[in-house]
Structure 1
């Protein structure tokens, strides 16, 4: 009987010690410091993913968004007209911005410059102009360039402005006046910016009365004739940046264009607040545009800078194309990869800000 009691006591003591030991072990495990975050490894991984996605097709985009110092788009409250608005002699020399216009598809024409692009989409009911370049170049590149194809400025029925930076909105007033008032389509928040800074947009201001304001949280379909331009708000580069999806034809074969309305990091990004939030907005927009482009089976990637889509180089390649492949047709995988490049490069930069915020 005494042995049984001792055995039971031993069992209870063993159970107690095991339980206590478990508590000690758990407490010790919880007290262990978390491994230090390896920010540099995370940045490197994001850059490697971007580089892998870029291949040879998107090197310009990779270099600008991953490896060149980002432009810091800190809020600018100055309201001063560009010098060349009041004194045309101060505009850059033509040789620095001129490029020949070109027919790219059966129904799409390049009327941009050597750096900044503009496009004419032909429909059964007239033309849609996408972006307008600078104020000093619009007459030469767009209004004179379209004459090469037998078009008149009054054939333009709508003008879509991807975002309100002067290299894209600058020529809008020149073109709108020549079209006898074609309505301008632009993101609501970029309309607000134009209204807030009248001197900054002197000579570059679209007509507010006829303007179409696209909200930043809802897609918009612009229809003309039998053509629809699906407009996707992609805030990030500016608060009101617009990207687009539309159909073009190549010797009658349909292709779908994914038009990136803002690629570089044009927002404030030099400090965690508001840089982290700004990068999140940009990344979300890139992923949204990627998803919509994939769903639409987009196989052509265009933007408003030749740096990103090699537009000027490709227009020159068209001259010797014959009936071979159209250099503007990237393929669906390449279009998807473009947004992998931009989102991963933005992620790498975002992690860099997190590292800064952690004091490393």
Structure 2
């Protein structure tokens, strides 16, 4: 082994150690885990994964520029940028920035991305006040400073059923509120080997700890919104199942199979149905729990 090769191997080990150390440090310092770097890859067609091992971000490449979905935490932005560049694309070509919903783990990096790319930021109407206040007007986390993030100006206000178009790609915004008042499930079509596939990116059906589903003064219709969101997701046709968090759709497991299987593992309509059914069960379990607690209290 030459001296040059020796030092090259040593530097790779040092670089890996520093990367892991920085990730660990960030996870300890931030209220919300930043996630670990994950290899960027093409999901199908012009759709790419550029997020961490849990906080999902997606790049949609078009001839007129690119669309980025989810800015994640502010500390994740360099990871997202690095992933985009590793795929051979320019971060500066990001023309449109979208999010799944207005929580810091999906939207805290938006201001920084806007500054670096000049992308147009598009958010569902019901989440715009939260984004532009940096989380201070959130129905649940308004008094939790650990959930605040850089306030960011929204360039286009979206409504249920609106489409976002760029370079021949069309995304549809479905309002699936409950988790936040303006939570979005995105759908789009991609072409793979001459065949069209319907992509569904679930915003979230999760009922966070502490959410009041009954007598919620800051979100009176929360339970009805969750029920509506469940109906919407049940009505959507899904071929490729994705979401705001990698754990929704078993990212690690499917990525490991990506180059080993003839069938794209992300084509998972049954996994989508199972996820929605599981979240529906969790919602109604929590609702009944809160109803029972209220009945006992008033008895």
With the shorter chain as reference, the TM-score category is 0.7 to 0.9
Query: Offset of 1:89 from its aligned partner?
Result: 11
Residue number in structure 2 paired with 1:169: 107
Query: Offset of 1:335 from its aligned partner?
Result: 2.8
Query: Offset of 1:145 from its aligned partner?
Result: 0.6
Distance in 2 of aligned mates of 1:198 and 1:232: 22
Distance in 2 of aligned mates of 1:311 and 1:89: 21
Residue number in structure 2 paired with 1:225: 167
Larger Rg: 1
Q: Secondary structure at the match of 1:168?
A: helix
* TM-score (structure 1 length as normaliser): 0.65
Query: Offset of 1:236 from its aligned partner?
Result: 0.6
1:190 to 105, 117, 127: 127
Q: Secondary structure at the match of 1:272?
A: coil
1:252 to 177, 194, 203: 194
Query: Offset of 1:95 from its aligned partner?
Result: 9.3
Query: Root-mean-square deviation (CA), in Å?
Result: 2.7
* TM-score (structure 2 length as normaliser): 0.78
Residue number in structure 2 paired with 1:283: 227
Distance in 2 of aligned mates of 1:147 and 1:260: 26
1:348 paired to 2:297: no
Gaps of 5+ in 1: 1-87
1:91 paired to 2:91: no
Residue number in structure 2 paired with 1:206: 152
Q: Secondary structure at the match of 1:194?
A: helix
Say if 1:207 and 1:270 are closer, same or farther in 2 by CA, change over 3 A.
closer
1:109 paired to 2:48: yes
Q: Which has the higher helix share?
A: 1
Query: Offset of 1:143 from its aligned partner?
Result: 0.8
Count of aligned positions: 260
Query: Offset of 1:103 from its aligned partner?
Result: 1.4
Q: Is the 8 A contact 1:111 1:120 kept in 2?
A: yes
Say if 1:335 and 1:133 are closer, same or farther in 2 by CA, change over 3 A.
same
Q: Secondary structure at the match of 2:89?
A: coil
1:118 to 54, 57, 61: 57
Q: Which has the higher contact order (CA 8 A, sep 6+)?
A: 1
Distance in 2 of aligned mates of 1:300 and 1:272: 34
